[in-house]
Every structure is written in C-alpha cells, then in structure tokens.
C-alpha cells in the first residue's frame, strides 16, 4: 500500500513538470501550467500578450517597473485593457538584476522568466544563485538582442509555459510570413544598399550620437537591406559615434528613435497617445536643435525619420522591418503597408484597439 501511494505521488509529480530548453541552451524542469510566474521585465508583456489568450495578470507573480518607467503610454494602454495589471506586485526597480532577491523569493513564484540583455547585468549571477537555492526554476528568453534568431524559440517557450499552443502557432506563422516576404524581395534587389544612421533617443541623450551597431535594431536594419554606418566603428551592440564620423560617413538616410508623449518632453514623440502632428513636430524641433545634424545631406533632403523605440523589445519588430524596407526601397516595397500589419497585430493578437503613431518622416 505504501509503495503504491509513493509511486502515485511520483507519477503525479512527473506529470506536473516538463522540461524546457531556454535560449541559452539550458534544460530546465518547470511546472506544468504554472500559476505564479515572475517576469524579469514588465515589457515582456508585449510578447506574452501575443501568445496568451485573455487577461494574464492572475498568472504574474511580480515584475520590475520598467514598462511604467520607460514607456508610460504602453503601460496605460495595457492597464486600460486589463486593470488588474496595476495590482501585480513589483520589485520597486526597473531591472530584475537590481531587485532584492529576497523580495522576489517572497512572491513565491513557481517560475521566473528572465530577459537576455546586451550587457551583463550586475547582480545577475547572485540572483541566479539565490533562485537556485530557493528551488525556483528560471528560464531566459530573448526578444531584444538576437531577436531574428531567438524570437520564435522564445515565443514557443512562452506558449509552452502558458499552455497556449494554438495562438502561439498563429502568431508565429504571421510573423514568419511577413519577415520572409521582406527577405525574399531584398534578395532580388540589384541597387546599392543605402547608408543608414540610427541615433537612439534624440533629445534625451546629452552626448551625440548614441547608436546601435550589432544585434537589436542593427540586425533589423541589415535584414531590411540597409548599410549601417555604425558597424565599422563600434564593436559592441551599442556605442557612440562622434559628429565628425557621422558627417564623414554621409548617410543617405537618418533614423532616430523615441517613446515620449506630448506631456513627456524632451524626446521624440511616438506611441499610442501621439498623433501625426505631434510626431512630426517633435522630430522637426529636435533636429533643428542639433546644429551638426542640419549639415547632413539626408536631413537636408528630407530623408529623416523617427521610429518607436520599443519595436525592438518584442516580436512587434516585424513592423520595424517593414518600415525600414519601405524607407530604404520605396518603389520595391510600395505595396507593403506596415501600418496595416501593426493594426492587425494589435486587434487580432494583442486584442487591443490600434491607436497612435509609431513612425514619422521629416517634412521636406
């Protein structure tokens, strides 16, 4: 009798766990259908909402406050749809690696899902050690560094953890179809690649010019057929180009990023609470305040654009790929409609109303 009971308990335990391979190749045994998941970044909500059906708030044990801090507009949009998100416990920090590990453990999560960052986060190793001591399994996903390689595996991880295979498969098919359409057309192009400058957060950085050279938005730029002027100068993912190097490189196209609202200046105004006039005016104003930028041929010719910065942190980056392709090769991609793609993502997958402006062009 005792042997039978023990066997039954072992069988139940085995059924209630499954093994997942995260994006670092770690094989981790995680609970089947966990009810309390700690997220190492609240902006992972963008990706979670693409595969999760309904309100995910009851399944979230806690997270940092990064979305509210870095992208208040999107936070307000999500909490308008799912008010219970405002009651999810927070760590009181904007990065999981800065969090008090005891506070995370006190949330009693079944599982922790952590984001891969371009830079090693101080305190990450200690957090991992203490989670292991507390017997809390943790897995890593990546939607922001090597996203073209890791987004689909990361989506599958989320879909598996939250038992949502059908919606996950539908979004992955949508995502891959749109990416492949751009890749196929770029391969057929015979023209020279345009030289492109990406400046991050124009108006919010005291130095010029913070840019991205590898991974992240740089990979999206290259995938869309652009030639990133920062790549030869910078070895890391992010770095700084001085104004002289930018002028010397003479880019054909200038792109800057931002997430500010009309009430949150300075900064490029883009996002769900921004209209076209505000987006265009903020780009024009901030470019006029940088004297050296006005010397650039791209800006003189009106080949200057702003792009919503947070495209890069989730599979919504498929829209950025279409925007880039259309900017770089307007004739070859004249029938591509990135706004329609974004609207479909919001309404069909995020189940949220589509509103706002997410890119703008400088008026010639």
Angle, CA of 197, 203 and 209, to the nearest 5°: 35
15 has pLDDT over 60 = no
The average pLDDT across 130-134 equals 95
**What radius of gyration, in Å, describes the C-alpha atoms of the chain?**
22
- Domain 190-361 in CATH 1.10.357.10: no
* Residue 204 pLDDT: 72
- CATH architecture of residue range(s) 16-163: 3-Layer(aba) Sandwich (3.40)
Partnered with residue 340 across adjacent β-strands are none
Query: In which band, very low, low, confident or very high, does the pLDDT at 121 lie, cut at 50, 70 and 90?
Result: low
Q: Are 61 and 109 in contact (CB under 8 A)?
A: yes
* Residue 53 pLDDT: 93
Enclosing H/E stretch for 7: helix 2-15
For 115, phi then psi, to 5°, come to -90, 145
**C-alpha distance from residue 11 to each of 4, 5, 6, 110 (Å):** 11, 10, 9, 19
**Regarding predicted confidence, which is higher, 93 or 312?**
312
335 has pLDDT over 80 = yes
127 has pLDDT over 50 = yes
* Residue 99 pLDDT: 78
Q: What DSSP assignment string belongs to 169-211?
A: HHHHHHHHHHHHHHHHHHHH--SPPPEEEEESSTTT-SSTTEE
Q: Are 356 and 273 in contact (CB under 8 A)?
A: yes
The average pLDDT across 215-240 equals 95
The average pLDDT across 237-248 equals 90
Q: Are 158 and 46 in contact (CB under 8 A)?
A: no
Query: In which band, very low, low, confident or very high, does the pLDDT at 119 lie, cut at 50, 70 and 90?
Result: low
* Residue 266 pLDDT: 76
Task: Estimate the crossing angle of helix 165-188 against helix 147-161, to 10 degrees.
Answer: 170
**Regarding predicted confidence, which is higher, 180 or 263?**
180
Picking from 239, 235, 199, 217, the residue whose alpha carbon sits closest to that of residue 314 is 217
Q: Rounded to two decimals, what is the model's pTM? A: 0.92
Picking from 256, 364, 243, the residue whose alpha carbon sits closest to that of residue 301 is 364
- CATH 3.40.50.1980 segments of the chain: 16-163, 190-361
Percent of the chain topping pLDDT 70: 93
C-alpha span between 56 and 40 (Å, rounded): 15
CB count, 10 Å around CB of 91? 22
Percent of the chain topping pLDDT 90: 79
Query: In which band, very low, low, confident or very high, does the pLDDT at 1 lie, cut at 50, 70 and 90?
Result: very low
Residues present in the chain in total: 364
The average pLDDT across 265-290 equals 92
The average pLDDT across 326-344 equals 98
């Amino acid at each position: 009798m005792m042997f039978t009971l023990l066997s039954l308990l072992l069988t139940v335990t085995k059924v209630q766990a499954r093994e997942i391979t995260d994006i670092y190749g770690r094989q981790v045994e995680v609970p089947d259908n966990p009810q309390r998941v700690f997220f190492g970044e609240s902006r992972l909500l963008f990706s979670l909402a693409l595969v999760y059906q309904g309100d995910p708030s009851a399944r979230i044990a806690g997270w940092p406050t990064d979305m509210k801090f870095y992208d208040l507009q999107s936070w307000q949009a999500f909490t308008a749809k799912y008010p219970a998100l405002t009651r999810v416990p927070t760590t009181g920090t904007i990065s999981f690696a800065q969090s008090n590990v005891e506070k995370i453990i006190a949330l009693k999560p079944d599982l922790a899902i952590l984001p891969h960052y371009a830079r090693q986060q101080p305190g990450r190793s200690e957090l991992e050690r203490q989670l292991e001591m507390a017997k809390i399994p943790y897995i890593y996903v990546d939607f922001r560094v090597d996203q073209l390689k890791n987004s689909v595996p990361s989506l599958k991880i989320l879909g598996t953890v939250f038992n949502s295979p059908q919606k996950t498969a539908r979004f992955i098919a949508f995502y891959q179809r749109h990416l492949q359409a751009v890749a196929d057309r770029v391969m057929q192009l015979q023209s020279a690649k345009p030289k492109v400058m990406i400046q991050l957060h124009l108006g919010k950085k005291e130095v010029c010019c913070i840019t991205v050279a590898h991974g992240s938005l740089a990979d999206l730029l290259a995938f869309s057929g652009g030639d990133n002027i920062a790549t030869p100068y910078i070895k890391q993912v992010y770095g700084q180009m001085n104004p002289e190097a930018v002028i010397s490189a003479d880019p054909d196209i200038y792109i800057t990023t931002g997430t500010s609202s009309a009430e949150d200046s300075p900064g490029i105004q883009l996002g769900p609470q921004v209209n076209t006039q505000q987006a265009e005016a903020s780009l024009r104003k901030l470019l006029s305040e940088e004297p050296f930028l006005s010397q650039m041929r791209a800006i003189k010719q009106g080949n200057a654009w702003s792009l919503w910065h947070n495209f890069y942190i989730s599979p919504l980056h498929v829209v950025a790929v279409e925007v880039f392709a259309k900017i770089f090769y307007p004739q070859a991609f004249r029938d591509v409609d990135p706004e329609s793609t974004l609207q479909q993502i919001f309404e069909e997958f995020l189940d949220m109303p589509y509103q706002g402006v997410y890119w703008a062009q400088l008026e010639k």
